[in-house]
Structure 1
């Protein structure tokens, strides 16, 4: 589903989540401490997903909202906002103080959702996500 959405959005296949090895091992990837991956199902169909994990090579009080994607059939139904809240609640429960996300310039709908939930643009990348094609960086204070 994630790769399908990235293709649908015209995202580059390099320097984005598209090439993450973790996509083929999501269960194993999110077994580490202070990490969780949420999947939205409608019947047996995956409509969306998102994860929270400590930011790689970052401050231990900073988490990253990762791999938040929704099938076109799920958009415009408030599901993204609900998923975002689930992820941020988990992050707070894990003691994170800041949540970071990066995205593509072309993903304006996602940016609007992030802004509505309190994320603000920042000028520089945080941590080491490996997503060098993502040029939009945002963070939210969780206190």
Structure 2
């Protein structure tokens, strides 16, 4: 295993970080598409559409030709929230990473570096206190390069953020993860996060019928 170390983000990391972040988001699209294919409403859409066309036209060939078009519509529907999320992030917090995460003591952005290359990222920022006044930190943008996965880098990055949360006096760390992203869920659960609920992050994700699992971690005193 190539050695790696974790450090705070620096300006020279930007190109590698944005490239890895963008590829990491877009890599989920095929998984989202296959997840969607397994859902009852997609099954009805893909079978019901050609079936209705056959009943209306009496042409089996025409109804079969409609299926690729319906698959393309489903692909575009799934792809939309991922592209929208990526575009929004690149225009907001990821546009100026230092300003977003390193200008305040309560937030931070780390990279994992191996052989001079940025191979992983994670960041955290404060959110509104939970009932009872506990300070909460949100874990965001955990990503590891495809060719460096399975080496424990995601766990190390997560542990770095959890230690930061403890040092800064946070009581709870929160995050959300795509419902079909089992590798990420295993990492979080291994680190002590527990699942609180399932929900859609926004209307765009609801339209694509892709929910998220929400997790919390109680920071030890």
**Normalising by the residue count of structure 1, what TM-score does the alignment of the two structures yield?**
0.85
Q: Residue 77 of structure 1 aligns with which residue?
A: 151
Match of 1:25 among 96, 99, 103: 96
Q: Residue 6 of structure 2 aligns with which residue?
A: none
Q: Residue 122 of structure 2 aligns with which residue?
A: 50
- What is the rounded CA distance, in whole Å, between the counterparts of 1:110 and 1:97 in structure 2? 22
Determine whether 1:122 maps to 2:196: yes
Q: Is the 8 A contact 1:3 1:18 kept in 2?
A: no
Q: Is the 8 A contact 1:2 1:18 kept in 2?
A: no
Deviations 1:84-134 (A, max 9, x none): 111100010000011000111121100110000011111267xxxxx5335
- What is the rounded CA distance, in whole Å, between the counterparts of 1:19 and 1:90 in structure 2? 26
Superposition deviation, residue 18 in structure 1: 5.4
- Structure 1's consecutive aligned runs of 4 or more residues displaced over 3 angstroms after TM superposition are 57-60
Higher RCO, 1 or 2 (CA under 8 Å, sep at least 6)? 1
Which consecutive unaligned segments of at least 5 residues does structure 1 have? Answer: 126-130
Deviations 1:34-70 (A, max 9, x none): 1110011223422110012102x44361111111111
- What is the rounded CA distance, in whole Å, between the counterparts of 1:67 and 1:17 in structure 2? 11
Q: Radius of gyration: which is bigger? A: 2
Structure 1 or 2: more strand by fraction: 1
Q: Residue 68 of structure 1 aligns with which residue?
A: 142
- What is the rounded CA distance, in whole Å, between the counterparts of 1:92 and 1:9 in structure 2? 31
Q: Residue 219 of structure 2 aligns with which residue?
A: 142
**Normalising by the residue count of structure 2, what TM-score does the alignment of the two structures yield?**
0.57
**CA RMSD of the aligned region, Å?**
1.9
- What is the rounded CA distance, in whole Å, between the counterparts of 1:96 and 1:6 in structure 2? 28
Q: Residue 79 of structure 2 aligns with which residue?
A: none
Which consecutive unaligned segments of at least 5 residues does structure 2 have? Answer: 1-19, 33-81, 206-210
- What is the rounded CA distance, in whole Å, between the counterparts of 1:98 and 1:91 in structure 2? 8
